[in-house]
Amino acid sequence: ALERGCAVTALSPRTWLLAPVAEAAQPAISLTLLEYGRPVVCAVALPSLPRNSMRGEKLLRMMVSYDGQSGAVAPPVGCLMWAEEGIGAYERSVGGEHGTDIRIRVDRCLIGRRSIAQGVTTGVQDFSDVVRTEASAQARAAALASQVGISTVLPADGPFAYGAVARGEAHVYLEMPDDSNSFDSAIWSHAAGWLLVKEAGGEVTDQAGNPLDFSTCGSTRDLGAHIIGIVATNKDLHPSIMMASGKAAAAAGMA
């Protein structure tokens, strides 16, 4: 079954989800295969995402890429990211040839980042060096980030945000709108990003730290009603963010 919206009750044993994102600044389209409600293969095309980072840095990767070599011609804009369960997450240029795929990994906080402009490598040692993604201001997410000392923001949302976390350009994606009714709970908005980040070595949970379960979406094709936020990050940061989230909820009388 190929779905973008549907009226049947249960997911098919094998279901393809097609998710176009028609945004002028950050267009994207993803295709994800779910087997019994679990994402197992995905491909995400991000035609406006640079191969080098959105902030002009070259991230250290698992292997040297053609566009990372000294004196190489600047790579074309546009990325295709894909992941397969148990195989890993990869990236190539849109239209890139077979064999040019680069293995991507989430940044584990202590992995350095090379600055193209300065030609130096700087280490990410504490929360003040952590980058989070945000396309529009969300007071709830900003308050949580402030509690753990995260101040740097990368303007990205949706597939761009998941991709930035998966390749280590950003360290955390907090999708926590101030109004819970504004949260995009459609499974096709998160299935591909979930698999990309997980296969890149990261963690994706709901706002309470619980795993996402796509198999219980029912006829609405939405995540559970109790899910009103998403946290995508690496496994080093996730416990601290969840601890801060719990303290914030307790202080607000929500725990």
Q: Tell me the torsion sign for CA atoms 42, 45, 50, 51.
A: positive
Q: What's the rounded mean pLDDT across residues 164-173?
A: 88
65 pLDDT more than 80: no
CA distance 176 to 221: 20
Full-model pTM: 0.79
Note whether 160 and 133 are within 8 A (CB).
Answer: yes
The closest alpha carbon to 112, from 96, 103, 123, belongs to 123
pLDDT of 86 reads 95
Q: How many whole angstroms separate alpha carbon 193 and alpha carbon 242?
A: 20
Contact 57, 114 (CB under 8 A): yes
DSSP state for residue 139 in the 8-state scheme: H
Taking only Cα atoms into account, the Rg of the chain, rounded to an integer number of angstroms, comes to 18
Residue 57 scores a pLDDT above 60: no
Q: How far, in Å, CA of 104 to CA of 83, rounded?
A: 10
Of residues 52 and 90, more confidently modeled: 90
Work out the pLDDT band at 41, boundaries 50, 70, 90. Answer: very high
Across 50-80, b (16+ Cβ under 10 Å) vs e yields bbbbbbebebebeeebebbeeeeeebeebbb
Q: Tell me, what's the pLDDT at 220?
A: 75
Among 114, 116, 152, residue whose Cα is nearest residue 132? 152
Tell me: pLDDT of 143 over 50.
yes
pLDDT over 80 at 126, yes or no: no
DSSP-assigned letter for residue 43? E
Nearest to 135 by CA among 107, 158, 163, 102: 158
Tokens of 247: 């303290």
Domains delineated in the chain: 2-251 (3.40.190.80)
Q: Which residue has the tokens 């002028």?
A: 24
Torsions phi, psi for 43 (to 5 deg): -140, 135
